[in-house]
Amino acid sequence: MLDFEKEKLLRELRRRKPKRVLVQLAEGIKKHAPEISGWIEPLGIEVIFSGETCWGACSIAVQEAEALNCDLIIHFGHAEFISSKFPILYIEVKDLLDLKPILKKSLKELNKFKTIGLSFSIQHRHDLKNIVSFYRKNGKKVILSKKVGNVAYEGHIVGCQYGGLKAIQEDVEAFLIIGNQFHSMGASLALEKPVVLVDVYNDNVRSMRGLREKILKQRAISIEKLREAENVAIIVEIKPGQKFGSPKFLLQKLKEAGKNAIVITMSEMTPDKVMNFYNIDAFIELACPRIALDDFYKYEKPILTFRESLVALGIKSWEETLKTGFV
């Protein structure tokens, strides 16, 4: 049920006339590589697929493309997140699911709220008019989250940017996220008002309140462990859009707090790589902040976001972080 915007793809390729392209596919759509190759190669263009993980448009593979002498990156499955001098064609990919049944189902969960803040993951942008009109016909006032930070459109949500939702928080009674748990869980941690997920992939509608409380407990545990840690590592990644906090600043603050602190670079953080640094007691990762939040159970050692490390170091309070969010 996915629309890979083939016409746009071919139109852009005929216009730009690249000789060799590097194709990045978001996780979950990599299986479509042979099909996509079959569209591009007949134009006389050489196609190379990146096998590296691609969780967001923060992962644009400029280094790979340059090393392979490609003259264009085609990035499928995300909207533009950061600007780049390297030419990139974004194909957002539309999900053609019929949302009407699940929108109807959501009315029960929303019955206490008249004004709702709405955000959607990029695959549902093409359905926005229908979504908004559905809720308006059912007596709701809908306000789209603002285009703040690296999101591409009003209403668009990504896992590490919630400024656009915070900007409308005073004007709404609750937030409604059309998409999946990843975005709505992040939203529930960043916002004080209730967050309801319309989980289009699991066909259910649910409040994020319970999960929020559980994650907050995990975050408090990780912060406490960093306070107690003797050896600490700051992890930086080399992905262009994953720079959340200054390693230099943090290194200095950790040392001032009496900790042995080092900086480690990784192309992508994984439990295997982290495990090799077995004498490190806690890690602060300045790459995708969602690794710390979502992969709590995958790592034996505590992994913290930049903002959480400021709480452990006494630079910010827990209460402030509840307001600003953890990512």
Query: Contact residues for ligand SF4 (CB under 6 A)?
Result: 55-56, 58, 81, 158-160, 241-242, 288, 290
Pair of tokens at residue 104: 């109807």
Nearest to 282 by CA among 263, 303, 309: 303
C-alpha to C-alpha distance for 30 and 38, rounded to whole angstroms? 14
Measured CA distances, 51 to 25, 29, 161, 292 (Å): 9, 12, 26, 24
The smaller minimum CB distance to ligand SF4, of residues 158 and 195, is found at: 158
**What is the per-residue burial (b if ≥16 Cβ within 10 Å, else e) of 216-243?**
eeebeebbebbeebeebbbbbbebbbbb
Strand partners, 94: 3
The smaller minimum CB distance to ligand SF4, of residues 106 and 123, is found at: 123
Strand partners, 284: 234, 304
Closest approach, Cβ 182 to ligand SF4, in A, equals: 8
The smaller minimum CB distance to ligand SF4, of residues 186 and 302, is found at: 186
Closest approach, Cβ 226 to ligand SF4, in A, equals: 21
Measured CA distances, 7 to 13, 76, 92, 134, 152 (Å): 10, 14, 13, 29, 21
The smaller minimum CB distance to ligand SF4, of residues 113 and 244, is found at: 244
Closest approach, Cβ 156 to ligand SF4, in A, equals: 11
The smaller minimum CB distance to ligand SF4, of residues 24 and 106, is found at: 24
Closest approach, Cβ 306 to ligand SF4, in A, equals: 12
Nearest to 234 by CA among 160, 309, 290: 309
